[in-house]
Amino acid sequence: MIRYFDLTRQYKQIKNDLQSAVISVLDGGAYVLGKEVTDFESKFAKYCQTKHAVGVSSGTAALHIALLAAGVVPNDEVITVPFTFIATVSSIIYAGAKPVFVDVHPDTLVMNVDKVRDKITQKTKAIVPVHLYGQMVDMGPLMQLASEFNLKVIEDASQAHGATQESRSAGSIGDFGCFSFYPGKNLGACGEGGAIVTNSSKLAELAKVYRDWGQEKRYYHKYLGFNYRMDAIQGAVLGVKLRFLDEWTQSRQRIANYYKRNLDADKIKSPITLNNNNHVYHIYTIRTLERERLQQRLYEHGVETNIHYPIPVHLQECMRCLGYKRGDYPIAEKAANEVLSLPIYPELTESEQADVISKVNKQFER
Ligand SMILES: *Cc1c(COP(=O)(O)O)cnc(C)c1O
Ligand 1 pocket: which of 88, 94, 111, 341 to mutate (most atoms within 8 A of CB): 88
What pLDDT is recorded for position 106?
Answer: 96
Compute the half-sphere exposure of residue 38: CA atoms within 13 Å on the CB side of its CA: 3
pLDDT tens-digit series, residues 297-337: 999 999 999 999 999 999 999 999 999 999 999 999 999 99
Other beta carbons within 10 angstroms of residue 130's beta carbon come to 26
User: Measured between alpha carbons, how far is 66 from 210 in angstroms, rounded to an integer?
Assistant: 9
Q: What is the DSSP string of 280-333?
A: --SSEEEE-TTHHHHHHHHHHTTB--B-S-SS-GGGSGGGGGG---TTSSHHHH
- Identify the CA nearest to 47 among candidates 264, 287, 238: 238
Ligand 1 centroid – CA 359 distance (Å): 30
Mean pLDDT across 228-244: 98
pLDDT at 361 > cutoff 80: yes
Q: Which atom of ligand 1 is nearest to the CA of 63?
A: 10
Q: What is the dihedral of CA 216, 221, 225, 231, to 10 degrees?
A: 60
Ligand 1 pocket: which of 81, 85, 133 to mutate (most atoms within 8 A of CB): 85
Mean pLDDT across 155-174: 98
Phi, psi of 337 (to 5 degrees): -85, -15
Mean pLDDT across 63-86: 98
Q: Which atom of ligand 1 is nearest to the CA of 60?
A: 9
User: Measured between alpha carbons, how far is 197 from 347 in angstroms, rounded to an integer?
Assistant: 28
Query: Of all protein residues, whose CA lies closest to atom 2 belonging to ligand 1?
Result: 158
Sign of CA dihedral 244, 277, 132, 281: negative
pLDDT tens-digit series, residues 4-13: 999 999 999 9
What pLDDT is recorded for position 366?
Answer: 62
The percentage of the chain sitting over the pLDDT mark of 70, rounded to a whole number, equals 100
Which amino acid, residue 293?
R
User: Are the C-beta atoms of 92 and 66 separated by less than 8 Å?
Assistant: no
User: Measured between alpha carbons, how far is 159 from 18 in angstroms, rounded to an integer?
Assistant: 23
- When computed from its CA atoms, the radius of gyration of the chain, rounded to whole angstroms, is 20
- Identify the CA nearest to 80 among candidates 68, 97, 61, 96: 97
Ligand 1 centroid – CA 306 distance (Å): 16
Residue-averaged pLDDT of the chain: 97
Ligand 1 pocket: which of 159, 313, 341 to mutate (most atoms within 8 A of CB): 159
Q: Which residues contact 8 (CB under 8 A, 6 or more apart)?
A: none
pLDDT at 221 > cutoff 80: yes
Ligand 1 centroid – CA 261 distance (Å): 30
Query: Of all protein residues, whose CA lies closest to atom 6 belonging to ligand 1?
Result: 59
With a Cβ cut-off of 6 Å, ligand 1 is lined by 58-60, 84-85, 87-88, 130, 156, 158-159, 180, 182, 192, 194
pLDDT tens-digit series, residues 197-213: 999 999 999 999 999 99
User: Are the C-beta atoms of 117 and 164 separated by less than 8 Å?
Assistant: no
pLDDT tens-digit series, residues 110-153: 999 999 999 999 999 999 999 999 999 999 999 999 999 999 99
Angle subtended at Cα 174 by Cα 99 and Cα 171, rounded to the nearest 5 degrees: 100
Q: Which atom of ligand 1 is nearest to the CA of 180?
A: 7
Compute the half-sphere exposure of residue 37: CA atoms within 13 Å on the CB side of its CA: 20
Task: Label residue 71 left, alpha or beta by phi (over 0 means left) and psi (-120 to 50 means alpha).
Answer: left
Q: Please list the residues that pair with 32 across neighbouring strands.
A: 231
